[in-house]
Amino acid sequence: MSIFQSFMSTASVPYYRSYSRSLTSTHAIPVLTTTNNYHCCYDHYNSTRTSGRTFNVVCCTTPVLATKNNHHCYYNCYSSKTSRRTNKIISCQNKENAEGGHSSLSSALTLSRKNPQDVVTFTDRVVDNGIKTTSTTTAIMPLLKPSDGIGIVSYLRGKNYLITGATGFLGKAFMEKMLRTIPDLGKIFLLIKAKDKEAAIHRLKTEILDSEIFKCLEQMYGESFKAFMMTKLVPVAGNVCEPNLGMDPATTNEIAKEVDVIINSAGNTNFDERYDVALDTNTRGPSRLLGFAKKCKKLGLFLHVSTAYVNGERQGLIMEKPFHMGQTIVGESVTSETPPVSIPVLDIIAEIELASNLKFCVHENEVTQKLKELGLERAKLFGWENTYVFTKAMGEMLIDSMRGDIPIVIIRPTIIESTYKDPFPGWIQGNRMLDPVIISYGKGQLSGFATDPKAIVDVVPVDMVVNTSIAAIAKHGIAAKPGLNVYNIGSSTVNPIACEDVLKFCCDHFTSFPLMDSQGKNIRVTEFKFFSSMDNFSSYISDEIAQGIGLMDAKISDSILKSKLEMKCKNRAELIVHMAKLYKPYAFFRARFDIRNTQKLMEDMSLEEMRNFEFNVRSINWEHYIVDIHIPGVRRHVMKERLVINE
C-alpha cells in the first residue's frame, strides 16, 4: 500500500438541554432519525473543549419503548465531569399508541396530524450535588407503529457468500459482523490472493483469524473459536485480476452451485498507481467477477464496494446515480458553445490498450513512472482527480453495462475510518486517509498542510459502512428485482465536520495524551497551520524539516554531514509536497454527498434492526469520536502502542 493512498447538518430539533462535558464511549448509543428531520430525544451539547462550538449529539442509552403498564420510554444521560445524571421520561398520553409491540422507530418518526392525542411529555429529573430538580416540556411527537422491518437476519441466515478483498480492512469488518450477528450463517468463500490452497489457508490463519477485530468472536466461542471459524470460512486461492478469477475448475463449479450473495470489496486504492495495475483491479476486476456471477445458479445479489469520490470534479450536492458506459465528468459541463472537438470520448477498451501498449514503448526502468503519469493524465482529461477514482468509475460503468437481470447494489462510502462501536470502538487496520496526517502531527513532524480549514472532511466509521451494506443486501435480495441501486454513505449532508475542527480535536488529544520521542520525552504539539497555496506550503515545509533535522544549526562545519542533511531534507520535503498535491482535490473539497437512498433504507428497518445494524451518521459526536475513539484506535492498532489512553 502506497503512503500516498494512506494519507489523508443537523436539522432542527424540538428539544434541547445543555451539558458541559464531552461524552465517553459508553454514551453514544443513538436514537435514530429520518429524512423528514423529526428527531427523537436529541440533546444539545456544548463542550468546553471546543471554545464555544456547539454540536447536536445523542447521549442516551438504548431506549426501552412504551409498555402496557407505564406507557413510558426511559433513557439516561450522564455527564461524568459534572456528575449530573438526567433521567429522561417520555410519557405517551395516548394509551392506545403506547401499548402493543412497537418495532419500527422510523415509521414512528412521522407526525400524526389526524390524532390530536399524539402528545409527548418530556420530564427532566436532574440530580446535581444532591439537589433534585424537575422540568417538563410537552410537544407533539411521532408515535411508534408496528413493523417487521426489512427482514435482515431472516434473509441472510442460511445463505452462502463469496467475498473478495477478504484480508482488507472492510472485508474483515464484513466477515466479523456477519459471523457474530447472523445465526445459522452458511459458508463464506474468501477469494484470497495466493499461489495455491495451502497458501490461502495460511493467509486465512495469520492475516484474518489473528486479527484483533475477531476478539469478540473469540471470547464468544472460547477454545472452539478457530474450529468454528474454519467451518464457516472457506479460503479460495484466486485473484480478480486473472481469467476465471484464478480459480481451478473444481472450485469454480462448487462456488457457482452454492453461492447466494457476492460481495466485492477488492480494490487498489493507491491514488497514483500504475495505470495498467489500477485498470486490472478496479476496472476489469469487477467485470470478471460479474462474469463469474452469471454462472452462479442461485445468486440473489451482487454487491460492489466503490467510493463516493468516483464523482470526480462534480460540485454541489452529488446524487446517488449510477454511471453509464462512456460517461465522463468533463462531458457534463459541456454547453452549446463548447466546440465538439474539445470533448474527449471515453472508450474503456481503448484505455486498457493504451496502458498495455505503453509498456512496450519506453525503457524498462521508466515503465512504472510513465504508467503512473499516464494514469493521472487520463484521469484529469476526463474529469477525475486521480487514477484510483477514475478506474473505479470505469469499473462501475462495466458493471452497469453487463449486469443483465442480476440485482446489483453499489456502495459508495466516503472516507472510511475506525469503528464507531461495533464490535468495539476504534478498531482500524493500516493507515487510512486521515491517519498519516494525524500521526505525523502527533509526532511533531507535520504542523501544517495545504488545505482549506472550512473544507468538509466527509468521514464514516467502517462499522456503519458494513451495516448499511448488509441492510441493502437484505432489502434488494428480498425484492429480487433486476436493477442497479446506489447508496452513498457519508456524513457531509447530515453531520458535517470541517477540517479545522478535525485538527483542533487532534490537538486536544495530543495535548492531553502526548506521544513520546525516542528519549521518552513528551512531544509537544502546536496549533495546526493551514496554507491556501502549494508554493507557500512547500516553502514552509522545507524550512520546518530543515530545522527539525538540525540543518539550520550554524555549528555544522562538516561539509559531508551537511550535504547528507540537505539531501535528507530535500527528499522528505518532496515526498510531503507530492502527497499534498495528490490530496489537493480533497483538501479543498466543497461538494457534499446526498444520502437519501441510505436514509430511506434506515426508515425501512425495524427498531431491532436499527439497534443491531446501526448506521445513523447523525448520531456521531465528532469530538468524542476523534479524541476518544479514533486516535486511541490508531495508536493501538496502527502504531501498536501499549499505553492505555482512555480511563
Distances (CA, A) of 470 to 192, 262, 410, 419, 464: 21, 12, 12, 16, 10
Of 347, 592, 339, 366, give the one whose Cα is nearest residue 488. 592
Cell of residue 31, nine digits: 436514537
119-128 vs 448-450, strand pairing mode? unpaired
119-128 vs 84-92, strand pairing mode? antiparallel
Of 69, 73, 159, give the one whose Cα is nearest residue 108. 73
Compute the distance between CA of residue 324 and CA of residue 214 in angstroms, rounded to an integer.
39
Specify burial of residue 559 (Cβ count, 10 A radius: 0-12, 13-18, 19+). Answer: exposed
Q: Is 370 a catalytic residue?
A: no
Compute the distance between CA of residue 351 and CA of residue 363 in angstroms, rounded to an integer.
21
Residue 417 bridge partners (DSSP): 461
Spatial neighbors of 166 by CB under 8 A, at least 6 apart, are 172, 175, 190, 191, 192, 208, 265
Identify the residue whose cell numbers are 473539497: 589
Q: Is 388 a catalytic residue?
A: yes
For residues 469 and 569, the answer to whether their CB atoms sit within 8 Å is no
Q: What is the amino acid identity at position 75? A: Y
For residues 191 and 166, the answer to whether their CB atoms sit within 8 Å is yes
Exactly one of 75, 388, 487, 583 is catalytic; name it.
388
Q: Which helix (H) or strand (E) holds 44?
A: strand 43-46
Exactly one of 177, 187, 392, 421 is catalytic; name it.
392
Q: Which helix (H) or strand (E) holds 140?
A: strand 131-140
So which residues are the catalytic ones? Answer: 388, 392
